[in-house]
Amino acid sequence: MTNGSSEYDIVCDNLVRIYQTEGVEVVALQGLDLLVKPGELLAVVGASGSGKSTLLNILSGNDVPTAGRATVAGHDLLEMSGSNRAAYRRDVAGFVWQQTARGLMPFLTAAENIALPLLINSMSRAERTARAHELLELLGIAYCADRRPKEMSGGEQQRCAIAVAVANQPRVLFADEPTGELDSATADDVFAALRRTNEELGTTVVVVTHDPGVAEHVDRTVAIRDGRTSSETLRRTELTAEGHERVVAEEYAVLDRAGRVQLPREFVAQLGLRDRVRLELEPDHVGLWPGHAGQDGERR
């Protein structure tokens, strides 16, 4: 089931997800908006409980939103039937777990694990074998082809899991804290693998993490706070006057379709903003001042 524009691989519009946990209602996502273009390498960051894993589960087809709209590669995630959802997970969305060995069958070798989704997709044996070895080469773990997960390091396992996730050439790869259990050097290897996947296979990659340092590895970082996207950091590479490459990162607040903006927490704290703020429209920007009485008086 596909619809919508092909301009974006991921469209989330006012996405809401409410859980019932032991009688308690938990609002994990409360009107989240997100747009991701094809071929982007995106990180979703946020504190624990901010809703980023919920978002990833929804986008990967493992959970269903309560309200709003979510489409991935034109697939409406609210309207999908069970069989369509399985096909979506098979062909459109790849998934990498936080636990390095989680995405792998412990009794299969690396090559067999990579061939498994291809087998699910009824691909021929020759194609399976060729594709598995291609991915093993791409991710730099060809030497692990005949090893079982227990015989591989954490980084190797996670790269193998990435290979498994992209075996069926999905449009989007979702990774849930893929480096959460790895040391920094190994984490760099894994991110390199994700970037290679993104660049060489053209797969849109969405990485969820609570580690702000991840931003160094991706082009765009979306921060989620209290179930909503709060800000985005865009990274680009520039040449300095001396001809050196320089990475420039700029953080933006996200403006939703209703015109709402989440101010960064440190801005709020530093200016003591609470309850109400005063806005002033300037020719090229919007000015914002604390709105409590004392300050109001001073401004007046």
Partner 1 sequence: MSIWTLLKRGLLTHRTAAIVLALVVGVGAFLGAAGPRWIDDRLDHTLQETIAGSGDTAQVSARETSDVIPARFDSEIEDLRESVAPELGDLLGAGRWSVSTGARSFGTLNDSVVDDGLRPRRLEVRVPDALDRLVEVVDGDLPASVDNTADASIIDVVATRPVAEALRLEIGDVVSFERREPAGIQAVDPNESARTPAVRLTGLIEPTDPGDPFWSDARVALEPDLGAPGAEPRITTGALIGRRDVLQPWLTATADTVDTEWHVAIDPARADNSEVEAVVAELRRLSTATMWSSGLVDTLERYPAQRSAAEGVVGFGMISMAALCVTLTLLSARFLAERRRDEALLARTRGATSVAVARLLVLDALVLSVPATLVGALAAVLVVPGGWSGLGTLLTAVPAVVAVLAVPVMTIRAARGAPAAADERADVAALRPSARRLVGEAAAVVVAGLGLWLAGTRQPGAGVDPVVSLVPIVVAGATGLVIFRAMPYLLAALMPVLRRTETLTAFLAVTRAARAPAHAVLPVIALLVAIGVATFGGTVRASVDDARHTSSWNAVAADAVVTADAIRVDQEQITSIPGADAIATGTVFPFQRPINLDNGRATGLDVLAVDVPAWQEVTASAPGRPDVLAALSGPTESGAPAAVLKGRVDVVDVGDQLEVTLNKDTTAVVEVVAMFADVPGSTSGTTLVMPLAPVADAAQPWPDVMYISGEVAAESVASTLGIATDDVSLRADVLESIYGDSVLNAVLDVFMIVTVVSAVLAAAAAVMSLAIGERVRAYGLSVLRTMGLTTRQSAVLTASDVIPVSVVAAAAGIGVGTGVGLVIADALDLGALSGALSGGAMQAVTDLPSAAVAAAAVLGAVVLGIVGAVVSGQRRTEVLRS
- Chain residues that interact with partner 1, rule: CB under 8 A: 57, 60-64, 82-83, 85-91, 95, 97, 99, 102-108, 112, 116-117, 119-122, 124-125, 148, 150, 164, 168
Closer residue to partner 1 in complex, CB, 46/61:
61
* Shortest distance in whole angstroms from residue 117 CB to partner 1: 4
* Shortest distance in whole angstroms from residue 269 CB to partner 1: 35
Triad 169, 38, 104: Cα angle to 5°? 35
Give the Cα separation of 172 and 96 in Å (integer). Answer: 11
Closer residue to partner 1 in complex, CB, 88/191:
88
* DSSP-assigned states of every residue in 206-222: EEEES-GGGGGGSSEEE
Pairing of strands 24-36, 204-209: unpaired
Q: How far is CA 117 from CA 78, 95, 129, in A?
A: 24, 12, 12
Closer residue to partner 1 in complex, CB, 107/252:
107
> Is 43:199 a contact under the CB 8 Å cutoff?
no
* Shortest distance in whole angstroms from residue 95 CB to partner 1: 4
Closer residue to partner 1 in complex, CB, 86/234:
86
* Shortest distance in whole angstroms from residue 61 CB to partner 1: 7
Closer residue to partner 1 in complex, CB, 78/268:
78
* Shortest distance in whole angstroms from residue 256 CB to partner 1: 26
Residue whose tokens read 């200016």: 271
Tokens standing for residue 9:
């691989």
Residues 6+ apart with CB under 8 A from 152: 110, 141, 144, 160
